[in-house]
Structure 1
Amino acid sequence: MAVSHRRVHVLVIPFPAPGHMLPLLDLTHLLSDRFQLSVTVAVTPKNLPQLSPLLARSPAIVPLVLPFPANTGLPPGAENLQDNPTANIQVMMCTLGGLHDPLLRWARSRLDDPPTAIISDFFCGWTESLAVDLGIPRLVFCPSGALCLAIVHSLWRRMPKPSDPDNPDELISFPNLPGTPVYRWRHLSPIYRSYVEGDPVSEFVKAGYLANMKSWAFVFNTFSDIEKPYLDHLRADLGHPRVWAVGPLAPPPASSSERGGRSSVGEEEVVAWLDGCAEGSVVYVAFGSMWVPSPTQALALAAALERSGARFVWATRGAVPVPEGFDKRVAGRGLVIRRWAPQVAILNHPAVGAFVTHCGWNSVLEATAAGVALLTWPMTADQFFNARLLEEVETAVRVCDGEEVPDPDELARLVAESVGEPGRERREKAIEMGRRATAAVAEGGSSSKDLAEMVEELRKVTGGSKANTASS
């Protein structure tokens, strides 16, 4: 596989959803800038703007723009899930498999500078066969945590089903995982729960997950101090040590203010408002790029924030129905940001002490790195696993579950306690975990070492020269 004179040239293949693309692009930036690897990012036309900030700060990274594969199962123009949140994820996964042949032709045409490795999202299991066809190693990038992937692997291998299909609360156990976790059926991945044996799309998705397990390596946006048992489990389960935790991945501070979208409020304005608040006194409320609370849930949340008496910043993305007159009633105590919010800057402000979140992994890691305690409201996908993980390390407490409508008075109490004396111990534990996250990515930290080891192993297997890379 290795050719002694070849340099390391990584072909990066993202999945077109913000929570997947952004951390993979952050990793791509590190590979290009810190290690001077040659990097090509495969992208379709409507997703090219997502690359713009990366290309601006890493001009050595080259975009490979390929036409989006035709598929009548997706809405017109549905090239990503941010613009089309209702698009079927499984169909999107299947559709992207249509890039296999164009990528194969491109790679084989690069006689002077062929790709020597592939890093692709774990939703792109079809790229394992692309790597085999090219005779190069593939690294699976997992934008979720190690616990999530361990559960995903167990699901698709064992294919457990509830004994009563009409009982969404039936418990499904995972006896092979550390701690033998148990989850309700409805808390498991909807991609898995929607599997239909014999359906072409379902079978394609299943094949992709099983193909992932054959890949050369896995790289995670996580860090050892928070997920060591699950990282160790995956190494044992996969039968090799090439399971690297390189997070929390983050963009350079100067490029983080519009991460995911343009804010309706300038970062300076938000920071100025937070500057007038006491340390640890503000609750930040946001639910990521995909999920929108129902009108009934939004009313209950608004009532809770109003009754809590706590200071808060609520980022609605313009999709959450804020009650009429709410802004005036909470003026001075609450700040409502419509459209996007500069989340990284908000979480890292000393005034912010707690975060009401859906527990998407990017939000979890951004809060953890900032040392902010969590009030968890998981809805779908990996969010129930993420919430449990943070609750186990005692930096989070559950405030609502899925499509439930919270009791406004009870939620108000939990919000108030999160930034009051009852929440002090949890906030202190979150601050300590934030220190560990910072230490992990610093020179000599666990994630920094894993990243350097990953690059070194890539050099060995591809025949890449150290002379083409910078020290870590």
Structure 2
Amino acid sequence: MNGESDQLHVLFFPLMAHGHMLPTLDIARLFSARGVKTTIITTPKNAPLFTKTLDKIQNSSTKISLKIIHFPAKEVGLPEGFENLDLVTDLQVHRKFFAATSLLQQPLDDLLQELHPHGLVADMFFPWATDIASKHGIPRLIFHGTSFFSMCAMHCVEQYMPHKTVKSDTEPFVLPGLPDEIKLTSLQLADHTRLGFENDFTRMMDRAKETEKRSFGMLVNSFYELEPAYVDHYRNVIGRKAWHIGPVSLCNRNAEEKAHRGTESSIDEHECLKWLGSKKPNSVVYVCFGTNSRFPASQLREIALGLEDSGQEFIWVVRKDNNDGEQEGDKEDWLPEGYEKRMEGKGLIIRGWAPQVLILEHESVGGFVTHCGWNSALEGISAGLPMVTWPIFAEQFYNEKLITDVLKIGVGVGAQQWIKLVGDYIKKEALEKAVKEVMVGEKAEERRGRAKALGEMAKRAVEEGGSSYTDLGVLIGELRSYGGLRKQD
């Protein structure tokens, strides 16, 4: 075999949500840059997110194809065109969305039959992908989109159920068997873990855990130097195959790529950079809670006042659909009266999407208030920033512990309870205190020094010879061997 027929071909199938599609696109680019033929599967409404980037980067050395399949929204009672998890506003719609994704099994089967790839990277939320890949005789890799630390912590909770040993929901317990002493409370665990109930979503998650053991392994957006004890624990103690290939966002090299990653920004990047350019180094705190949080107006008001009282300059990203269902053009009653006038020159509010990677890397930015979603956390780490941690749900409380207790580059606002989409209610005083501590507190410089060192390590990890660059090479070699392909020079 030679030429095209001897080229490794890997198919990528991310969940239809920005937090899954963006890192998957970055991963596909990393594979493509190493000579792998890559194809991404998505749906009509999500395709523009990929084409926008692919049109800019396609050249002779980067060939990424897109395969578009129908998303069965109407079939499960969702409106036609409802194809992205970020549009979900309540639990009933959440259930329908995942019912729709389970109907994508046949289209995936058909595509494998048509394309004959050598491997499949499918999202953890598609547990059925393992059996379909197996039917076609190819390895299935899982993309989870979180840290080794949180995977180890989740495994520990499932295995030992330490939350069952305490007398109340607020009594701290230690996660047994981990390399560090990590304490949590039951309230900080997912509600289905804490309360032990079952539904379609928890059954899917159980199936995902079961297929983890039968899949080829896990692709992890992390790097060895960030969490070495947890990479080793996951591989050697839990005994799972995994490759660390991150931070994947660092494949966006130039300002244009960073500015246009994801949905079109609600602010012109030049305007944003001009504003930042007028500020002193490390003087601005960037505040953003990801694509899935849904804060009520009362919480947004607390954030506004907490930022004002902190006395720090800030950029705050507020989702347009975040404000108690207000329509565009409605009065923004979450903003205190005269707020933007008072904050003129001191605070910049971006409604909608912001060029996050570009902002985080700017020298004027000295801190990051984050919900601890792994994409955001790792982008903050890559930019060498200390963080204010405000976990809301998913695995964010685990990621917070990594940032504050293990890496020691963050200060928590004191979120005590896991609540899907809306999170725990945080008072302005708690935010003010944490922001001041990260930006100007007595340990601020020490924390910033540690964060900057991690940022340097992140950049080295993805360069030739770095830990993530090397691990990706090892994985590509294994996939070539599995597919019976000759080693490429």
Q: CA deviation at 1:381?
A: 0.7
- Indicate how the Cα distance of structure 1 residues 410 and 196 shifts in structure 2: closer, same or farther if over 3 A, else same: closer
2:411·2:438 contact (CA, 8 Å) conserved in 1? no
| Aligned match for 1:96, one of 91, 94, 101 | 101
1:142, distance to aligned residue in structure 2 (A): 2.1
Moved more, 185-194 or 122-131: 185-194
What is aligned with 1:16? 16
**Other structure's SS at 2:219 match:** strand
Aligned partner letter, 1:144: T
Choose from 375, 379, 404 the match for 1:391: 404
1:79 aligns with 2:83: yes
Counterparts of 2:277 and 2:414 in 1: how far apart (Å)?
30
**In structure 1, distance between residues paired with 2:340 and 2:276:** 17
Give distance in 1, aligned partners of 2:213 and 2:95.
Answer: 19
- Take 2:435 and 2:448, find their aligned partners in 1: how far apart are those partners? 13
Structure 1 residues 204 and 429: alpha-carbon distance in aligned structure 2, compared to 1, 3 A threshold: closer
Displacement of 1:450 in angstroms is: 0.9
Task: Name the counterpart of 1:425.
Answer: 446
Contact 1:7 1:462 (C-alpha < 8 Å) held by counterparts = no
Change (3 A) 1:149 1:115: same
CA RMSD of aligned residues (A): 2.5
- Alpha-carbon separation, structure 2, partners of 1:74 and 1:382: 29
Structure 2 residue aligned with 1:460 = 481
- The reply on whether 1:435 has 2:439 as its aligned counterpart is no
**Structure 2 unaligned spans of 5+:** 324-333, 418-422
What is residue 208 of structure 1 aligned with on the other side? 208
1:302 paired with 2:304, answer yes
The answer on whether the counterparts of 1:123 and 1:209 sit within 8 Å (CA) in structure 2 is no
Q: Helix, strand or coil: the match of 1:45?
A: coil
Deviation at 1:54, TM superposition (A): 3.8
The 1:461–1:452 alpha-carbon spacing in structure 2 relative to 1, beyond 3 Å, is: same
Report SS of the residue matched to 2:227. helix
Distance 1:84 1:275, change over 3 A: same
Partner residue in 1 for 2:65: 62
CA distance in 1, matches of 2:94, 2:483: 33
Aligned with 2:436 (options 416, 419, 422): 416
Structure 2 distance, partners of 1:426, 1:315, is 24
The 8 Å contact of residues 53 and 261 in structure 2, kept in 1 or not, is answered as no
Q: Answer with 278-287 or 90-99: which moved more.
A: 90-99
**Structure 1 residue 189: Cα displacement:** 3.1
Matched with 1:243 is 242
- Post-superposition Cα deviations, 1:445-467, rounded to whole Å, max 9, x if no partner, equal 11111111111111111123344
- CA distance change for structure 1 residues 412 and 107 in 2, over 3 Å: closer, same or farther? closer
**Per-residue CA shift, 1:101-159, capped at 9, x if unaligned?**
2221332244xxx1111111122221111111111111111211112222333455567
Letter of the aligned partner of 1:217 in structure 2? G
Partner of 1:45: 44
Equivalent in 343, 355, 366 of residue 330 of structure 1: 343
Partner of 2:112: 107
- Quote the offset at 1:84 in angstroms: 2.6
Q: Which amino acid aligns with 2:111?
A: W
After TM superposition, list the pairs within 5 Å mapping 1:19-418 onto structure 2: 19-32=19-32, 34-56=33-55, 57-58=57-58, 60-69=63-72, 75-77=78-80, 78-86=82-90, 89=94, 91-110=96-115, 114-156=116-158, 162=164, 168-169=169-170, 171=172, 173-179=174-180, 181-190=182-191, 192=193, 196-197=197-198, 199-239=199-239, 242-250=241-249, 251-253=252-254, 254-318=256-320, 319=322, 321-392=334-405, 393-401=407-415, 402=417, 403-418=423-438
CA deviation after TM superposition for structure 1 residue 260, in Å:
3.1
Q: Distance in 1 between matches of 2:357 and 2:34?
A: 25
| Matching residue's letter, 1:46 | K
User: Counterpart amino acid of 2:51?
Assistant: S
Amino acid at match of 1:449: T
Q: CA deviation at 1:273?
A: 1.1
Q: Secondary structure at the match of 1:213?
A: helix
Partner AA of 1:399 in structure 2: V
Moved more, 187-196 or 276-285: 187-196
Question: Following TM superposition, by how much is the alpha carbon of 1:297 offset from its aligned partner in structure 2, in angstroms?
Answer: 1.9
Which residue number corresponds to residue 330 of structure 2?
none
Range that drifts further, 67-76 or 210-219 = 67-76
Displacement after TM superposition at 1:334 (Å): 1.2
1:174–1:445 distance in 2 versus 1, CA, 3 Å: same
Decide whether aligned partners of structure 1 residues 297 and 86 sit closer, same or farther in structure 2, where only a CA change above 3 A counts. Answer: same
3-state SS of the aligned residue for 2:263?
coil
Q: CA deviation at 1:203?
A: 2.5
- Check conservation: 2:148, 2:222, Cα contact below 8 A: yes
Structure 1 residues 309 and 92 mapped into 2: Cα distance closer, same or farther (>3 Å)? same
* TM-score in terms of structure 1 length: 0.89
Aligned length: 457
1:214-269 CA deviation, whole Å, 9 max, x = no partner? Answer: 211111001111211111111124535x4111111113432221333222221111
CA contact (8 A) 2:127 2:208 kept: yes
Measure the CA separation in 2 of the matches of 1:372 and 1:154.
29
304-313 or 77-86: bigger deviation: 77-86
Bigger RCO (CA 8 Å, 6+ sep): 1
- TM-score w.r.t. the length of structure 2 is 0.86
CA contact (8 A) 2:182 2:401 kept: no
Q: Which AA in structure 2 matches 1:61?
A: I
Of residues 75-84 and 456-465 in structure 1, the stretch that sits farther from structure 2 once superposed is 75-84
Long gaps (5+) in structure 1: none
Does structure 1 conserve the Cα–Cα contact (< 8 Å) formed by 2:384 and 2:456?
yes
Residue 440 of structure 2 aligns with an amino acid whose one-letter code is G
Contact 2:73–2:97, Cα closer than 8 Å, also in 1:
no
